[in-house]
Chain A
Amino acid sequence: MKAFKIFFVLTAVLALISGCSKKDYYTDGGLSSGQYNGTVLQYLESRPELFTTLVQVVKYAGMEQAVNAEDITLFAPADSSIRSLLQFVNERLPMAGKNQITKIQDIKPTIWRKYLNRYIFKGSKGLKDYPQLDIENLSAFAGQMYTSYDGTPMNVGVIYNDANGVKYAGYRQLTISLVNSATPRDYTTWYSATIASVNIKPTNGYVHAIRYGFHFFGFNRFEFMDDLIYNN
């Protein structure tokens, strides 16, 4: 017990000495601003480990001008989601009498553009500009439908997570989804992607980077495969 007392007193004294003074190794970084000094395309090019293929697809699909100069919001799918998609279709194409895809040029630019445009929206919008989405209660919080660059309607919304049992008090997560037009109130028929890094702010818009765990480029990989079989 005596040893404990000594230990306690020492701790208290230590706390007293160290608690107040701010050492110079502590710097308050403040809130992350997300600013990037360059265009959306330059931002993508600055992260080659994530977006090399995406940049190629943007250029090949003829969206370079939009991504580089216009005021846009880009939900950025990482290269791994393009890879996942190509793996998926390559397993099935031979059976359908088609060659496997070995490079992005094997697919027509119009097909790339059809799927790429689902990620690009005119005008810059950040997390705060999108309404709440509750996938358990779509009739109350449905997010909102936005028309993408070439006119595909996409749902964008912010999921307010719960914190310690307090509803909607937790972290917020931006989500973009391809909605099935026949069953828009049935979330299980949506193809969704959640955002890992939100509000990255290059000079000509916003970039929201998509979490790349389970995302397939283009949202609906079956539709992409059909396009490769029937329209490529």
Chain B
Amino acid sequence: MIFQLKQYNRLPLLWACGLLLLTASCTKSDFGTTDIYQEGTEADISFTADAPQPAMVSEGTIVKYGIAGLKDKAQGTYKFYINQVQANILEVTDKFISVRVPANASSGSASLVFDNGQLYYGPSITVRGNTQIASDFLANIGANKALSNNNASFASIYGITPRSDGNYVIYGEFNNYGNTGTANNITSGIQVIDATGKTLSAGNQFIMGKRGLNGVVADVKILSDGSYLVTGGFSKYDTIENVNSIVRFKSDRTFDFLNYEVANADPENHPEDNTRIGSAINGGVDGGALFSFMDVNGSYMTVGNYRRFSSIYYPNSTVESSQLDAIQTFGLSKMNNAGVFDSAFNYDISTKKSFAGANGFITTAIQLYYGQLVLGGAFTSFHGQSAQRLVCIDPATGLISSAFSGTTDGPVYKITYNENTERLVVIGNFKHYNGVPVNGVAVLNEDGSLDTASPIKATDGVVTYCAQLNDGRFIISGSFIKYDNVVRTGFAILNQDGTLATGYNNTGLFRGRIGDHAEYSTPGGRALMLVGNFDRFDNKEVGNIVKIVLSNN
């Protein structure tokens, strides 16, 4: 043992000798060091790290920003902006610059722009106003996010449907919201949240099993008995395979299914093969649908870009194989609440298929309060007749109705409808509505005539969402920086006449797209739930949903 230790102890010594030999053997006289990098440059003007004083301002407030290197520059060669609105410069020293907050200012960053185009960005301030992220939403803002694989960017919320108990159902293509999912009950694609945006506990969510619906949820309607009609792009619920884009969940949020009797070759030995499990709505459309609507008899009308309606004929099917009953149907069909195809609606007995439907994509649809459907998209004909991107459908026959008529000269991407104010807003890539020049947004009466009292003004970008609130005001959103030549980065509140609502347009950056909104009155104001695919509201990071409050001063 002692001998071995001694041996090991000699090892480092030997290595040391070796190293000495190696290093001493060469003498490089020309060995020197060169810096890989040359000295870098420094910015000649820089805002200091201190927060501006004060950081919360109103119109007319004097704000001081710490800045170095500006005093040496000739006055008058530069301008100062607060979130892109020019502010009057009051004083410049070697340590700070003070400016007055201009009218129409909104929350955001300072910028200093020289006449030669050189630009310096500074810290951000908050402008007080009547539009704010609701404090009860803000409190839980980190969890109130729709995520897909922990990422908000591909986790759109398509819509929000209010429930009579004051809670909301949100739906789309997310797979996580507030971590309510468990191994035995995932809550992807559909979620129940309360009026603050917070998710309800796992026990109050939809029963989805380990796998849930295998595709996006595009639409949820709550039926008169409290059950949920769910439309989207799925063909399977958990382990149940006979599912075809439209399903129903009972009012207790469990999946509505039936055990259908099927042909059984060996009922004596395998009585379990007498029945087969399938969706209670035995009918649907292949490849997914966009929306479903109800008619007066409680039947379901389904709108989309599909080519086929199909159901399973169970008496001729077995546990392993299904006999399909398929009908060529182009994007519009009706079935009763058991999924039986309605051949009185959009069906041509002579050709045994539906009428021609749209000759281009349908992207949006709404139902007027008296039952008529209005469809919008990139089509120019419907059922073989001219239909310039908009068409109205009679809920009884599936044929074109004259209750509403309108045309645009470019694709329609979205229609919003407010039943209370009886106004529709059509949004898209068009320059004219019924021949009248508009800016991609048209506010309409229910018959399709242009509401000339509400002209939406021009933006410097693209409008992707606009809707009328119950009090007549509008929310408008898109990728614009200015609305009516005033800086409104992506979001604005408008008066009924289309002008910016004074006092409500203080918010900073909105980035992304709104897909839907819900609205309710609160003491002293209105609350709005906005959902879609967006990651900023008022410069704050959000995850495709935000609740804002418009307070009455």
Contacts and interface: CB of A to CB of B under 8 A. Distances in A.
Interface in B113-133: 117-124
Given A96-B378, A139-B123, 18 more contacts: A12-B17, A12-B21, A20-B25, A31-B34, A95-B361, A127-B38, A130-B41, A131-B43, A132-B42, A147-B117, A153-B119, A172-B37, A172-B40, A179-B121, A183-B124, A184-B121, A229-B429, A230-B440
Interface in A90-133: 94-97, 127-132
Contacts of A223: 479
Interface in B1-50: 7, 14, 17-18, 21-22, 25-26, 34, 37-43, 46-49
Q: Is the interface of B mostly helix, strand, loop or mixed?
A: loop
6 contacts: A12-B18, A15-B25, A144-B120, A183-B108, A189-B511, A222-B479
Given A188-B541, A222-B479, A147 B119 contact: yes
A182 B120 contact: no
Contact of B49 (A129, A139, A144, A151): A139
A140 B48 CA distance: 7
B409 to A, nearest CB: 12
A142 B539 CA distance: 19
A158 B18 contact: no
A181 B121 CA distance: 9
Interface in B173-194: none
Contacts of A95: 361, 363, 378
A223 B511 CA distance: 11
A145 interface: yes
B462 interface: yes
Interface string B76-120: 000000011000000000000000000000001101000001111
A183 B119 CA distance: 14
B508 A128 contact: no
A22 B508 CA distance: 65
B26 A20 contact: yes
A178 to B, nearest CB: 13
A173 to B, nearest CB: 11
Contacts of A180: 509, 511
Contacts of A229: 429, 462
Given A142-B46, A158-B40, A184 B511 contact: no
A181 B111 contact: yes
A16 interface: yes
A223 B43 CA distance: 30
A226 interface: yes
Contact of A189 (B18, B413, B536): B536
Contact of A97 (B21, B119, B120, B378): B378
Interface residues of A, number: 46
Contacts of B46: 142
A139 B360 contact: no
B231 to A, nearest CB: 18
A97 B509 contact: no
A36 interface: no
Interface in B492-537: 508-509, 511, 536
Most chain A CB within 10 A, of B40, B411, B541, is at: B40
A135 to B, nearest CB: 14
A152 B99 CA distance: 26
Interface string A1-39: 100010010011001100110000000000100000000
A95 B378 CA distance: 8
Interface of A: 1, 5, 8, 11-12, 15-16, 19-20, 31, 94-97, 127-132, 139-140, 142-145, 147, 151, 153, 158, 172, 179-186, 188-189, 222-223, 226, 229-230
A19 B22 contact: yes
Contact of B462 (A130, A131, A181, A230): A230
A5 B363 CA distance: 82
Given A142-B46, A182-B489, A97 B38 contact: no
B48 to A, nearest CB: 7
B461 interface: yes
Contacts of A179: 121
A131 B25 contact: no
Contact of B108 (A20, A129, A182, A230): A182
B111 A128 contact: no
A127 B41 CA distance: 9
A180 B505 CA distance: 19
Contacts, number: 125
Interface in B355-402: 360-361, 363, 377-378
B22 A15 contact: yes
A131 B108 CA distance: 24
A226 B461 contact: yes
A216 B508 CA distance: 26
Contact of A128 (B41, B84, B118): B41
Nearest to B7: A1
A230 B545 CA distance: 26
A125 to B, nearest CB: 9
Contacts of B462: 226, 229-230
Nearest to A141: B43
A131 to B, nearest CB: 5
Nearest to B47: A139
A129 B37 CA distance: 11
A222 B153 CA distance: 12
Contacts of B429: 96-97, 229-230
A181 B509 CA distance: 9
Contact of A145 (B26, B38, B121, B479): B121
B481 interface: yes
Nearest to A96: B411
Contacts of B38: 127-128
Contact of A226 (B14, B39, B479): B479
A129 B38 CA distance: 9
Contact of B109 (A16, A94, A184): A184
B375 to A, nearest CB: 14
B123 A185 contact: yes
Contacts of B17: 12
A12 B124 CA distance: 65
B40 A130 contact: yes
Interface string B42-72: 1100111100000000000000000000000
Contacts of B489: 181-182
Nearest to A227: B462
Nearest to A179: B121
Contacts of B440: 230
A84 to B, nearest CB: 16
A222 B154 CA distance: 13
B124 to A, nearest CB: 6
Contacts of B411: 96-97
Contact of A183 (B117, B413, B481, B539): B539
